[in-house]
Amino acid sequence: MKNILFVASECMPFVKTGGLADVVGSLPKCIDRKYFDCRVIMPMYSFMNQKWKDMLEYKTHFYMDFNWNSYYVGVMEVEYEGVHVYFIDNQDFFTCDKPYAGMPYDIGRFAFFSKAALSILPSIDFRPDIIHCHDWQTGLIPVYLNDAFQANEFYRGIKTVMTIHNLKFQGVWDVKTMKDIVGLPDYYFTPDKMEFNRDGNMLKGGLVYANAITTVSRTYAEEIKMPYYGEGLDGLMRARQNDLRGIVNGIDYDMWNPKTDGLLVENYDSDDFKAKKIANKTALQEELGLDVDPDVLMIGIVSRLTDQKGFDLIAYVMDELCQDAVQFVILGTGEERYENMFRHFEWKYGGRVSAQIYYNEALAHKIYAASDAFLMPSQFEPCGLSQLISLRYGSLPIVRETGGLKDTVEPYNEFEGTGTGFSFTNYNAHEMMGTVRYAEKIYYDSREEWDKMVKRAMDADFSWQASALQYQELYDWLIG
Ligand code: ADP
Ligand code: GLC
C-alpha cells in the first residue's frame, strides 16, 4: 500500500471558490484504494459551514515555531466518502470570511499552513510516499521538505508532485519580508530558486524542488512553456519540461449526473433529454423572471467574473448579441466591473438577460441543465470544469481554443457530423460573436444536427477514470 497526501487550500464539499476544490474533493476518491491510501490536508477556516464543522473530530494539537513565534497547530479529522481529510486549526491565521485575504497576509497564512501540514504527519501516524501539492499556497512544501525537515529521518525520501491549476497566481512578495515570515535562509532566494524579478515567489519554490510537475491539461502544459501563457515562469517550465506532464481533469460523475441530480425539475439522460431539458429551461425562466419560451436558445455562463474568463470579449459584443433570438443566464461573482456589466445588461434587456451575481451551487446545477449552450471564451484556461459539466448536462460549450477547452471540446464539423461544441481560435470579440451566431444558426435551422451533437456531448466520458490512472502511473514511477 502506498500513501499519497494531497495538500490544498480548498476542497469540496468543505470550502470552494473554484475548480481547485472540485479536483481536490473528487480525485482522491477515484485513486485506486487497493494500492493507494490517499488523504487530504486543508486549513480549518472559521467560515466553514457549521454542518461540516460538526462532523470533525479532534485528533491532536501541538505548538510549532514559525515567524519568530510559537503557534498552536490543532488537527481535526473527518472520513468523508471514504477519504480521510485533516484540517489544520489556528485562529490567528484561519479566522476569516473567505479563503484568501490578499497579499501579504496570505504569504504568512499559507507558509504556516505548509509547514504545519508537514509537521503534523508523525502525530497523525501517516508517512506519505508522495505529497501532492496544489497551486502556490502549497509551493513551500517541497522547499521546506528539502530544508530543515531533512534532519528528521521520518521525512527523508518523501517525494513531491506540484500541480499547477493556475499559473497566474504565484504568491509573490518582496524577498526581505517573505524571508522573514517563512523562515528560509538566503540560500533559497536566488534566481535559480525562489527569487523572481527580485521578489520572492512561493510557487516557484515548489516548481524548482518538486520531483514532478503536472498541470491540468496537455495543451496548457505546452502553453506555459511560452511567454504568452508562462507568467514569467516559461523559462523554468522549459528547463523542467521532462518532469512536466499535462493530465486533464475529470469531474465527479456522482455529483454531476443529470439522471439523478436532485436539484433538477426533470432528470434526463442522453436518450430522453429533448423534452426534459425544455422542462428545466422553462422552470428556470419562470424562477428568474425571464420570458418563458421553450424554443429560444438559452446561453448559460457560470463563472468567476475575472479577466481570465474572457469577459472583455463579451463586453464588446453583448449589445449586438442581444439583438438575436437568444437568452443569457449568468451566475457569477468577481471583479466589480463585470458584475456591474451584467447587472446593466439585465436592466437593459429585461426578460432576456438574467444576471445572478452571487455564488450558488444549486442554481449552477439548474443552469447547466436548462441552458442549450454554455459560453466560455477564456483568455487562458488551465483545464476548465464548467465546460465538462455543461457537456455532461447537454449544454453545448462555445469556447476559445486554449488550454483544457481545446482538449475537451471537439468543434462541430457540419460535413462529417462530428463534434460536441463550438470553438474559435483568436482572442477576438468578433470571432467569438461569429461563433455564437454559427451556433444560433445550427440550433434554429438544423435542430436534428444540434440534438445529435447534444447526445454526443452527453455520451463523451469526462469522468476521472482515465486521468486517475495517469496520476497513479506517475506516483508509481516516482516511488520506483
Ligand atoms: P476556475 O477554477 O478557474 O474558476 P473551473 O471551470 O475549473 O474554473 O471551475 C469552476 C467551478 O466553480 C465549476 O464547478 C463552476 O460550476 C463553479 N462556479 C463558478 N462560479 C460559481 C457560482 N457563482 N456559483 C456556483 N458555482 C460556481
Ligand atoms: C484553476 C483553473 C481551471 C481549472 C481548475 C482546476 O482554477 O483556472 O481552468 O479547471 O483550476 O484544475
pLDDT category of residue 438 using cuts at 50, 70 and 90: very high
Within 8 A by CB and 6+ apart from 68, the residues are none
**What number is the average pLDDT over the span 160-169?**
98
Within 8 A by CB and 6+ apart from 428, the residues are 313
What was the pLDDT predicted at 118? 98
| Alpha carbons within 13 A on the beta-carbon side of 445 | 7
Q: Does residue 381 line the site of ligand 2, with CB under 6 A? A: yes
Q: Indicate the top mutation candidate among 216, 248, 304, 361 to test ligand 1's pocket, ranked by most ligand atoms within 8 A of CB.
A: 304
Nearest Cα residue to 341 out of 325, 351, 328: 328
What average pLDDT is seen over the chain? 98
What was the pLDDT predicted at 417? 96
Rounded to an integer, what distance in angstroms lies between the CA atom of residue 301 and that of residue 182? 39
pLDDT category of residue 1 using cuts at 50, 70 and 90: very high
Within 8 A by CB and 6+ apart from 458, the residues are 258, 269, 270, 273, 391, 392, 393, 394
Q: Return the DSSP state at 412.
A: P
C-alpha cell at 42: 486543508
Ligand 1 atom closest to Cα of 364?
A: 25
Nearest CA to ligand 1 atom 4: 18
Rounded to an integer, what distance in angstroms lies between the CA atom of residue 164 and that of residue 145? 19
Nearest Cα residue to 42 out of 21, 63, 58: 21
> Same fold for the domain at 2-250+465-479 and the one at 273-461?
yes
Domain 273-461 fold is Rossmann fold (3.40.50)
Within 8 A by CB and 6+ apart from 323, the residues are none
Q: Indicate the top mutation candidate among 11, 16, 20 to test ligand 2's pocket, ranked by most ligand atoms within 8 A of CB.
A: 20
What was the pLDDT predicted at 299? 98
- Residues 96-125 have pLDDT tens digits of 999 999 999 999 999 999 999 999 999 999
In this structure, are residues 377 and 401 in contact, taking their beta carbons and an 8 Å threshold? no
Q: Which ligand is nearest to the CA of 338?
A: 1
Q: Indicate the top mutation candidate among 133, 167, 249, 409 to test ligand 2's pocket, ranked by most ligand atoms within 8 A of CB.
A: 249
Give the E-state strand segments of 91-231 in sequence order.
130-134, 159-164, 172-174, 195-196, 199-201, 212-215
| Alpha carbons within 13 A on the beta-carbon side of 237 | 23
Q: Indicate the top mutation candidate among 15, 27, 161, 166 to test ligand 2's pocket, ranked by most ligand atoms within 8 A of CB.
A: 166
Q: Does residue 421 line the site of ligand 1, with CB under 6 A? A: no
- Residues 69-96 have pLDDT tens digits of 999 999 999 999 999 999 999 999 999 9
Neighbour order of strands in the sheet with 2-7: 57-66, 69-80, 83-89, 36-43, 2-7, 130-134, 159-164, 212-215, 244-246
What was the pLDDT predicted at 479? 97
Q: Which ligand is nearest to the CA of 331?
A: 1
**What number is the average pLDDT over the span 52-60?**
98
What was the pLDDT predicted at 263? 98
CA of 445 to the centre of ligand 1 (A): 32
Rounded to an integer, what distance in angstroms lies between the CA atom of residue 249 and that of residue 237? 20
Domain with residues 2-250+465-479, CATH architecture: 3-Layer(aba) Sandwich (3.40)
Ligand 2 atom closest to Cα of 163?
A: 12
Amino acid in position 407: D
Q: Which pairing describes strands 69-80 and 83-89: parallel, antiparallel, or unpaired?
A: antiparallel
What was the pLDDT predicted at 191? 97
Q: Which ligand is nearest to the CA of 166?
A: 2
Q: Does residue 19 line the site of ligand 2, with CB under 6 A? A: yes
- What is the percent of the chain where pLDDT is above 70? 100
Q: Indicate the top mutation candidate among 12, 24, 27, 165 to test ligand 2's pocket, ranked by most ligand atoms within 8 A of CB.
A: 165
Q: Does residue 251 line the site of ligand 2, with CB under 6 A? A: no
Q: How many residues appear in the chain?
A: 480
**What number is the average pLDDT over the span 363-369?**
98
In this structure, are residues 216 and 470 in contact, taking their beta carbons and an 8 Å threshold? no
What was the pLDDT predicted at 142? 98
Nearest CA to ligand 2 atom 1: 165
**What number is the average pLDDT over the span 443-457?**
98
Name the residue ranges covered by the structural domains of the chain.
Answer: 2-250+465-479, 273-461
Q: Does residue 21 line the site of ligand 2, with CB under 6 A? A: no
Tell me which residue has cell 504569504: 107
Rounded to an integer, what distance in angstroms lies between the CA atom of residue 187 and that of residue 270? 58
Q: Which ligand is nearest to the CA of 256?
A: 1
Establish whether the linkage from the previous residue to 99 is cis, with ω within 30° of 0. no
What was the pLDDT predicted at 336? 98
C-alpha cell at 73: 497547530
Q: Print burial letters for 35-56: b (CB count within 10 Å at least 16), e (below 16).
A: ebbbbbbbbbbeebeeebeeeb
What was the pLDDT predicted at 163? 98
Ligand 1 atom closest to Cα of 304?
A: 20
Q: Which ligand is nearest to the CA of 23?
A: 2
C-alpha cell at 173: 512578495
Within 8 A by CB and 6+ apart from 105, the residues are none
What was the pLDDT predicted at 174? 97
Q: Print burial letters for 318-336: b (CB count within 10 Å at least 16), e (below 16).
A: beebeeeebbbbbbbbbee
CA of 424 to the centre of ligand 2 (A): 20
What was the pLDDT predicted at 185? 96
**What number is the average pLDDT over the span 399-417?**
98
Among positive and negative, which fits the CA dihedral 28, 33, 38, 39? positive
Rounded to an integer, what distance in angstroms lies between the CA atom of residue 392 and that of residue 396? 9
pLDDT category of residue 23 using cuts at 50, 70 and 90: very high
